[in-house]
Every structure is written in structure tokens, then in C-alpha cells.
Structure 1
Amino acid sequence: MTTLDRVRPAPARERMTGRQRLLLVLLLGAQFMLAVDFSILGVALPVIGRGLGFSLANLQWIVTAFALSAAGFTLLFGRVADLFGRRRLFLAGMAVLGLSSLVGGLATTPSVLLAARVAQGLATAAVTPAGLALLTTAFPEGPLRSRALGLNGALMSAGFTSGAVLGGLLTDLLSWRWAFLVNVPVALAVLVSAPFLIRESRPAERARLDVPGAFTVTVGLLALVYGLTDAGEHGWASPVALGSLALGAVLLVAFWAVEARAATPLVPVRILRRPTVVWGNLAGLIAFLTETSLVFLMTLYLQKVLGYSALATGLAFGVLGAGTVVGGVTAARVVGRLGTRASLVTGFAVQAAATLALVALGDDRSWLPLFLAATFVGGVGNMVAIVAFMITATGGLPDGEQGLATGLATMTQQVGITMGIPVMSTVVNAVVTARTGVPGATVLDAVTTATAVNAAVVLAGAVLAALFPRRGRA
């Protein structure tokens, strides 16, 4: 029986030590802040545009600049953490995050703000895999690691969903600048306390960095994410989107070929062939693609159909955030009892049922209770699936490859987040275009159709999880 089937309790102690608890609080706080940064500026974009003179066409670059650098460099930095030291990269990333947030909060021109967003994305690409690798190596594989990953997943998901609420509050009560500046004291606190809690972990002999592999995978991921972003803005027929996606696909295929021949590969091909890595990351891609795109669809529903303000919409998603916290806290017990495969199937099945219930939403506010109940339940199921994905994708690997494993998992997360909105917005736009001029056709029709597609993708994830190979090379 492999990691895909059931996580066996490790012989190590079942209770966290005091130092492990402090380390967990530190790492979870950093990961929560990074998750908040993905969504905190969404509500503030129009205000930032007016304040700094962004054109409407260029406003989306505030989000795109961050997404490109965060997703494009994650795999590279995950391997760099393995080779040169996870604590070193974690602290360097936190320092860059604090400095870039300060620059962004004080920016007076669009170019300075965009440079700060690129630096924030690079910091996220460094800190996320390094922090996750520090977490997985600090806790032995088994119940303790499952519990830590469950809390980490819960806070990351809660951070993503609460970022809109925090961004709206800061923008309305203070200034959009505080959406950047709020990171500075948190980064300082982490930098001051981390050296006392985190031990360095790196190999005794430092291997050479695989430069050709680093180049092909980084540029390939940048092209892939840019293509997905452009498709969301201009449609899938956009020449720029198609060209970028094609370039990304070619470079990622070239990356595989380079790694197969490299003396010291960035990502050993044997790892990419592990069933736990391949199937686990596929499940993670589905989990992040569907839930983040559902937030987009339900935002359209709350604002365009029910007429809620941006701040009220963010507050409504607090229920989804609560569901992810519940799912994260209980996921370790679920995995311990059912195993990772059954937990993935169960989590996806619950999420699919809850998402399908949202197809019944109507065009008045009496449907709000259904929205709140379904998003809460769906959040619980999604988080159980995410925790099972993380355990699957990082389990069974030696400590020396945890940075790589968490880098792959983080890359999967960020590509899934990037893919979700373009895919579902395409469905929405297709329905709107097809029904233009049809009596009674509304935004609600498009949203519910896309929600049904979303539920079908989640259900496909449950089927794939059930078909995971039971045996494979470790």
C-alpha cells in the first residue's frame, strides 16, 4: 500500500513539541500573508488606477505582474532552496517581500508600483516552497505532518478568500496603500524571530544548478501563465494568448528532454514519473482551478445579479473561508482514517455536490442562504482534497528533495489559480454571446451554466482520484 492509499502513522511522537508549535505559527503566518497578497488588491484596483494614473487597459497588469513572477519562478526557487539552504532562501524572500511592499505602498507612478508587484511575486515564489519544505522536514511523515499541512492549507485558502475583505476594509477606511504596507510589520516580525526557530537544512555537498533546465522551465511557465492571463482578458482566439501558450508548451517539453540528459537535473525525471507526484499534482491542479474560479463566478452572481457592493461580496465569502478552515482542521483526521486516495475522492465528491447545488441559485436575495450553505460545505470538501493532494505530492520523498516536491506543488497551485478564471470566463462569455437578444437571457444564465461546468470538472477529479494507480515506483 502506497502513500496514495493510506498514510501510516509514523513511529515518532504524536504530540508537537513547544518549538514545533512556535515554528508552525511562524511558517503559517508567513504563508497566510502570501495567500492574502494574491487577492488583497482585487477590490482596490479601480482606486489604485485613479490614484496613480493607470489606463483601464493597463490596470490588469497590477495582478498579472504578480502572477507571472510568482508562478514562473516557483519551481526554480524550490530547487534552489534544496541546494543552497531553505532557511536562507526563506529569509531572503521575506526581506524582499517586506521591502517591495514598502515600495509599493509609497509608489507615486505606475512603473514603480508594477516593479514592486514583480518583486512581491518573486518573493512569493521563494518563500512559499521554502516555507513548505521547512514545514515538511520539521514534522515526520504521518499524523503530525498531516496536521501541519492541514492547518497550512486552511490558512492559505482562508487568506486567499479573506484578502478581498481585508483589501476592501483597508481601502475604504484608510487607503489602498495599506494593502501593501500591512505586509511590512509582518515581514519584520518573521525576520526577527525566524533565526531563533528555524534550523538551516541543505545538503553537505552542493550540486551544480542545472542552468538549461532552469531557463526552459522558468520561461516556459512565464509563457504559459501569460498566455492564460491574456486569454482571460482577450479570449482564447487571441494571437498573443495562443502564441504564448504554444511557446510555453514547447519549452516545457524541451525541459523534460533537457532533464533526461542533465548530469545534475533541476527536476530528476524519476521524480516526475512517480505516481504520487504526477497524480497528486493533477488532483491539486483541479482543486485550485475549480475553487478559485468558483469565487470568480459567485462574485459575478453577488455583484451583477444580486447587486451587492464589492465589500459586501467580500464579507459574503467569509463563509467560504470558514469552510476552508474547518476542512483544514479536520483534514488530518480524515486522511488518517480514510487514507489519501479516499480523502481525495470524498473531498472532491463533497465539493462537486455543493457546487452543483449553486446551479439552482435565483435572481433575488432570498437565495442567499443556499449560497452561504453551499459555499461553506464546498469549502470543507475542497480543503480536504487540497490537504490530501499536498500529502500525496510530497510524501515518500527524502528530506533533500522536499524543496523540489513543495516547489512542484506550489507551481501546481499557482497555475491552477491562474487557469481557473480564464477557463470559466470563457464559458460565461460563450453563453452571453450565444443568448444575446434572447428574451429572458441574463448574467444568471451564464453564471449557472459555468457553475455546472465547474461541478463537472470537480466530479472528474473525484473519478481520477479513484483511478489513481495503487502501485508505482517509490
Structure 2
Amino acid sequence: MSSTRGRASTTTAASIRLFVPVLVALEFFSGLVQGWIVPLLGEIGRVFQVPGGATSWVLAVGLLSSAVSVPLIAMLGDRFGQQRLLVVSVALAAAGSLLVAFAPAFAFVLLGAAVQGPVAAFLPLAMALLKAHRQKSANKDIGLMVGALTFGVAAGSVLGGVAMDVIGSLLWVQLIPALGIALFVPLVRVLVPEGRPDASRMIDWKGAALLGAGLVGVMYGLSEAPQRGWLSEHALIPLVVGILALVLFLRVERRAPSPLVDLPAIRSSHLGNPIFIGFLVAVTMFGNQSPPVLFLSANPAVTGYGAGLSTTGVGIVLAVSAGSLTLGSFSSFLLAKVLGRSRALVLACLLSAAALVCMAFVPSSVLLFTLWLAIGGIGMGVVLGVLPGVVIERAPVAAPASASGVYNTARTIGGSLAGAFVASTTLLVTSAGTSSGNTAPSMQAFQIIWMVFAALNVAGAVCAVFISRPPAAVHAEAEFELVEEAAARR
């Protein structure tokens, strides 16, 4: 019996040493999967003979699936074990990726994107596992994971197109990330230790259904509104249904014995402020994906602004921006350690705001515009690296994944609002027609977008001032984690 106990302790100790590198690598491949398909959308449209606008539904379906599945998966993780649900999520992401690769028709591509949605649950589940096993170093580990995730997205966005040019087969190109993520199913199962599931936690199926219906309605309405009009039935009906479902969801949650979103627990754990900051920053991060592309590719002789860059030139500038985002994420732990998390967040938000103001009014050259993007990316990366640590540190011990899931869902909603705002602004505030007869966004449209985003970052900086020190319960949890690690070594 003693030898069996010794082998179990050795296995636990080995898992604790290895599971952080596994989680960091998993986040890199998570980002790779998410970024890989973006440059392939044109080829997907050509192969399946669908119009260019229809291919955007691949990303929209994936986003909807993530928004709906992440809260439910996080809740199931707190009930049955975060490691177990992480294995399930990785398996679903791999299955969805393989379905996209082998899809015989475009409908199966969309189905694969939906099955792939739980890829967004990797980070909340991983954060909960860090709270269970490495509370003391969780902030540093989360910074590494977020940095690996952003680097993976950037690498996928570049390498997907390169692989397509070199290999020439859409199936084989899409198999590369699919097989990579599939390898992590056994790795996570063997090398990642289980968290602290709460068997007494009930499953809030009614809340999950209402939240899912609400998010689908709101996000679908937001995606349709810019093109079809905010008062069209295609946008207005889903928005109204979605909002009503979310209102009903909040009413149900107040009476649920184990709510999907425990609002009293969020208030008592001081989670509302960091979640709100995450929402504000997500509006900027997701919303500022397309405006730089439109600006840099615009012909200044026609529109009066822009750089007239080719697709390759735009890609190089965006690669610099993505690299700065990754740099900010990787350096977030050090900056927070030197300045304190509150000051680091304030500085990062103000840095991003200043960069956005410069983009709006000082875009005199490609070099300067790239510099503003890089500065803003560093600030954004620091926020993305610091905030998840704050969230998981304050999360209730019985529901760490659920709290992380709420943070992730708030960011998803922020991204959807940002997309609708950017699309509506660029469609409404236009300049004179181009040589092809089409209208283009005016410089005022970009200035409105970037100044609104700058204001949101300033609001985030103000909120970050009130990020208080962690409650005393967190220190007790850290002491428990140290004792647990010492027992594992013995």
C-alpha cells in the first residue's frame, strides 16, 4: 500500500511540474486554430462556391458557439472537474477542426465551426486549474498563457496563408492545426491534474438555456443590423428576443440554488470591476481589427487618407501589432510586480488610449501608424495579461471556472457590440465614391471609431484605479496551495 501511495504522490508531483507547460502550449495551439482559418476564408469561398460575404459566417458561427458554450462548460467544470471538461473541450475543438478540414459542403464547414466553439473554454478552465494548484504563481502563469494565445492567433493568421501558398490543398492545410490540437487530448488527460470539483453544485440548465438564447439573439441581431438596418426585422426581432431572454435569465438566476452566474458572489468577491474593464478593453481589441486594414489599404489619391498598401504590406503592419500584443502579455506579470496591478492596468489603458488618439489625428506616415499600433498593442497585451489573474484570484473557491467564464462571455459581448459599432460607422460616415463607383469610409469615420475606443480605455483606466488588494480569503487559499504542493513532493 505504501508503494502505491508513493507512486500516486510521484505522479501528482510530476503533473504539477508539467501541467503549466502543457497549458501554455495548449493556449498557443488554441490561438493557432482560431487564427489559421482567417486567411483561408477566400479559398473556402472558392472551393465551396459561396459568395465572399457568406464566408464571414464561419467566424460568426464560431463566435456564437463560443459565447453559448463557455458558460455552460465552465459550470460543468466546477461540478464535475475542470480537467475532465478541458479534455472534453479539447476533443470537441479537435473534432470541429477535423470536420472543417474534411467538410464535403459549406454547411459542414459551419457545423465544424460550431463544434469548434469550446476552444474558447480552454482559458477559463485552465485558470481554474491554476487557482487549484498554483495560486501563488497563477498571475505569472496566466500571463504566459495569454501571451501564448495571442502569439498563436498572430502566427495562425500568417502561417495559414503561407501554408496555402506552399501546399495548395485546402484539406491538407486545414489538417495541420486540427492534428496539432488533437494531440493535446491525451496530453491533457495524462499530464494535467484535476481541480477541486464541487459535487454538491447543481446544474443550472434553465439558466444556461436562457443565457444561450439571449446571447444568440443579441449577437445575431448585432451582426445583421449594420447591413440590413437597425429597424429591419432581421436585426430588431433577434435583438428584442435576445434582450428579453437575458432579462428573464437574470430573474431566474436570483432564485436558482446553483446559478450559472452568481451575482451576489460576483459582488462579494469584487469581480464586477475587473469583468467590466475586460468588457471595455474587448470592445477596443475586437473592434479595432478591421479599421487599420481599411485605413492602410485605402488609396490616398482617391479617399484623401490611407497608405495604399498591398495585402502583404498590410499583413506586415498587422504582424508588428500582433507581436506587440504578445510582448505586452508576456511582460504583464513583471510590470504588475514592479508597479502593482492597479497602476499597471491604469498605465496600460492610458497607453492604449494615447495610441488611439494618435491614430485618429497623427497618421502622417506608415511608420508612425505602425508605431501607434505597436504602442496600443503593448498596452492591450498588458491588460489582457493582468486582468485574468485578478479575476481568478477573486473567484469563489467553489466556482472558479464559472467566474472565468463570465469574464470571457463579457469580452465576447463587447466584441460583438464593437463589430456592430464599427460596421455601422463605416457605412454611415462615408466619403465620395471611388473610381469603382463604391463609397468608402471617410476619415471622420475612423476618427469617430478611434476616439470612442480611446474614451473607453480612459474609462477602463478610471475603473482600474479602484482595483483593490485581494481579500484575505485569497491569502488563506495560497497557504493551502503551498501545503498541498509540499504534500505532493513527499
Instruction: Give TM class, smaller chain.
Output: 0.7 to 0.9
Whole-angstrom distance in 1 between the partners of 2:440 and 2:252:
51
Unaligned residue ranges in structure 2 (runs of 5+): 1-12, 299-305, 474-490
Whole-angstrom distance in 1 between the partners of 2:82 and 2:135:
17
CA displacement 1:233-285 (0-9 Å, x = unmatched): 43434432232222222222211211111122222231232463211111001
Count of residues paired in the alignment? 449
Aligned partner of residue 135 in structure 2, secondary structure: coil
Contact 2:32 2:156 in 1 (8 A): yes
Unaligned residue ranges in structure 1 (runs of 5+): 1-16
Q: Which sits farther off after the overlay, 367-376 or 189-198?
A: 189-198
Contact 1:101 1:120 in 2 (8 A): yes
Q: 2:34 aligns with which of 38, 52, 57?
A: 38
User: Which one-letter code corresponds to 1:117 in the other structure?
Assistant: A
User: Which one-letter code corresponds to 1:212 in the other structure?
Assistant: K
Could you say which residue in structure 2 is the equivalent of 1:324?
325
CA displacement 1:391-426 (0-9 Å, x = unmatched): 222222344311111111221232233332221222
Could you say which residue in structure 1 is the equivalent of 2:456?
457
Aligned partner of residue 59 in structure 1, secondary structure: helix
User: Which one-letter code corresponds to 2:21 in the other structure?
Assistant: V
CA displacement 1:256-315 (0-9 Å, x = unmatched): 211111122222231232463211111001112102222211111122333333343233
CA displacement 1:316-368 (0-9 Å, x = unmatched): 21211221222122211222233332222111001111121112355xxx712
For the aligned residue pairs, the C-alpha RMSD in angstroms reads 2.7
Instruction: Note the C-alpha offset of 1:77.
Output: 1.1
Answer yes or no: is 1:129 the counterpart of 2:127: no
Could you say which residue in structure 2 is the equivalent of 1:197?
191
Instruction: Note the C-alpha offset of 1:444.
Output: 4.0
Could you say which residue in structure 1 is the equivalent of 2:477?
none
Q: Which sits farther off after the overlay, 161-170 or 378-387?
A: 161-170
Q: 2:239 aligns with which of 245, 250, 255?
A: 245
Whole-angstrom distance in 2 between the partners of 1:471 and 1:127:
25
Contact 1:100 1:117 in 2 (8 A): yes
Whole-angstrom distance in 1 between the partners of 2:396 and 2:471:
17
Whole-angstrom distance in 1 between the partners of 2:209 and 2:433:
49
Instruction: Note the C-alpha offset of 1:470.
Output: 8.2
Could you say which residue in structure 2 is the equivalent of 1:7?
none
Whole-angstrom distance in 2 between the partners of 1:471 and 1:152:
22
Could you say which residue in structure 1 is the equivalent of 2:342?
341
Answer yes or no: is 1:431 the counterpart of 2:432: no
Whole-angstrom distance in 1 between the partners of 2:243 and 2:350:
31
Matches within 5 A, 1:203-218: 203=197, 205-218=199-212
Whole-angstrom distance in 1 between the partners of 2:202 and 2:456:
41
Instruction: Note the C-alpha offset of 1:51.
Output: 0.7
Whole-angstrom distance in 2 between the partners of 1:39 and 1:229:
20
Instruction: Note the C-alpha offset of 1:68.
Output: 0.8
Instruction: Note the C-alpha offset of 1:380.
Output: 1.2
Answer yes or no: is 1:89 the counterpart of 2:90: no
Greater relative CO, 1 or 2 (CA 8 Å, sep 6+): 1
TM-score, normalised with respect to structure 2: 0.84
Instruction: Note the C-alpha offset of 1:18.
Output: 7.5
CA displacement 1:75-107 (0-9 Å, x = unmatched): 111111110111111111211222221121121
Contact 1:170 1:176 in 2 (8 A): no
User: Which one-letter code corresponds to 1:130 in the other structure?
Assistant: L
Whole-angstrom distance in 1 between the partners of 2:238 and 2:268:
29
Could you say which residue in structure 2 is the equivalent of 1:59?
55
Whole-angstrom distance in 1 between the partners of 2:277 and 2:401:
20
Could you say which residue in structure 2 is the equivalent of 1:295?
289
Contact 2:342 2:468 in 1 (8 A): no
Contact 1:345 1:466 in 2 (8 A): yes
Contact 2:30 2:119 in 1 (8 A): yes
Aligned partner of residue 276 in structure 1, secondary structure: coil
Whole-angstrom distance in 1 between the partners of 2:173 and 2:213:
29
User: Which one-letter code corresponds to 1:166 in the other structure?
Assistant: L
